[in-house]
Structure 1
Amino acid sequence: MDPIFFESRDEFRDWLEAHHDTAEELWVGYYKVDAEHSGIGYGESVQEALCFGWIDGQIKGIDGETYTRRFTPRRPDSKWSKANKERVEAMIEAGKMTPTGMELVEAAKESGEWDKAYRLAEDHEIPAELEAALRENETA
C-alpha cells in the first residue's frame, strides 16, 4: 500500500480518467486538518470516484498528520448509501458523471438497489416517544 497524495480534485480526476478501467484499487492519502500540508479532501475524492464507478472503503492511519483510504471499482450489486446517491445526483447535475459511473447508477436503478439506499447512522432520527422514555430511565 503506497498512497498517492493528490493536491486537487482535478489531479485525482485525471488519475481516474487514466486508470479507472484498469486499476484494481487505489490508496488515496489525506492530510489531517492540523497538518502542515494540504491536498484533496474526502468529500471531493468520493464525488470524483463515484463519477467513474469507484467507491471508498477501508481507512488506515499513516502517522500523526496523514491517513489513507482505499478506493476500488464499485461492484454492480453493491449497496448505495443515501449520502452517495445525493453525491451522484449532484455530479449528474454538474455534468461530471462518466458513462462508466452512469452504467452503475442505471444498473442499481434497474435492480432496485438505488431505491433501497440506506441512511448512515447519523442521518437517523430517534422517535420522540423513545427519546422521552430513554431520558426518563437513568440506566438507559
Structure 2
Amino acid sequence: MPGDTLPPHAVEAADRAAWRRWLSRHQGQANGVWLVMARKGSDHEAPTLDEAIDEALCFGWIDSKQGRLDERRSLLWFAPRKPKSAWSGPHQRRAEALEAAGLMEPAGQAKVDEARRSGLWHKPPA
C-alpha cells in the first residue's frame, strides 16, 4: 500500500521505550531522523509527542519540523542539538525534570552542561 511507504531516514517506534532504545543505539551515527508519530484519533502505536521530545532531550537531540505521512501518521524531525543552539524555556524545564528523575544520558547531560557553561541555557532563542 502506498501509505505504508516511509520516507528516507524514517524510524517507527511503537512506544517510548522503543524510541529510547533506537536513540541509544544510533545517537552518534545519525544526522537526524523522521520519527513516525500517531495523528490525533489514530490507533497507530507510537510514543506521544511529550514522550518523544523527552527521550530525544535525554540523548542531546531536539525536535524540529513536522510533516504529514497519511491519515493515521505524521512525521516529526529529530536531530542532534547543534552546539550553539539556545535552549527554549520549555526544553530547559523538561531537561531539568529529566535530570532530577535520573533519565539523562551522558550525551544529553553533556549538551545541558555545555549550554550552562556557555550561557546558551538562558539566552532567548533567535
TM-score in terms of structure 1 length: 0.79
1:38 and 2:56 correspond: no
- Larger RCO of the pair (alpha carbons < 8 Å, separation 6+): 2
Alignment-derived partner of residue 114 in structure 2: 107
The 1:50–1:88 alpha-carbon spacing in structure 2 relative to 1, beyond 3 Å, is: same
Query: Deviation at 1:117?
Result: 4.3
> SS of the counterpart of 1:46?
helix
Q: CA RMSD in A?
A: 1.2
Q: Say if 1:28 and 1:71, in contact at 8 Å, map to a contact too.
A: yes
Q: Which residue of the partner structure matches residue 65 of structure 1?
A: 72
Q: Is the 8 A contact 2:37 2:46 kept in 1?
A: yes
Structure 1: distance between partners of 2:13 and 2:81: 21
Q: CA deviation at 1:38?
A: 2.9
Residue 16 of structure 1: SS of its match in structure 2?
helix
Report Cα offsets for 1:42-75 as digits up to 9, x if no partner.
Answer: 1101100001000011111111221101110001
Q: CA deviation at 1:35?
A: 1.3
Corresponding residue of 2:102: 95
Q: Secondary structure in 1 aligned to 2:31?
A: coil
1:22 maps to which residue?
A: 29
1:74-108, Cα deviation, whole Å (9 max, x unpaired): 01110111010011011101101011111111111
Match of 1:10 in 2: 17
Q: How many residues align?
A: 118
Q: Could you tell me which amino acid in structure 1 is paired with residue 101 of structure 2?
A: A
Structure of greater Rg: 1
Name stretches of at least 5 consecutive residues in structure 2 with no aligned partner. Answer: 1-6
Amino acid in structure 1 at the alignment position of 2:99: I
Code of the residue aligned with 1:102 in structure 2: it is Q
The percentage of aligned residue pairs carrying the same residue is 34
Checking the alignment, whether the CA contact within 8 Å between 1:54 and 1:71 is kept in structure 2 is yes
SS at match of 2:11: coil
Structure 1 stretches of 4+ with a deviation exceeding 3 A read: none
Structure 1 gaps of 5+ residues are 119-140
Cα distance between partner residues in 2 of 1:109 and 1:36: 40
- TM-score between the two structures when normalised by the length of structure 2: 0.88
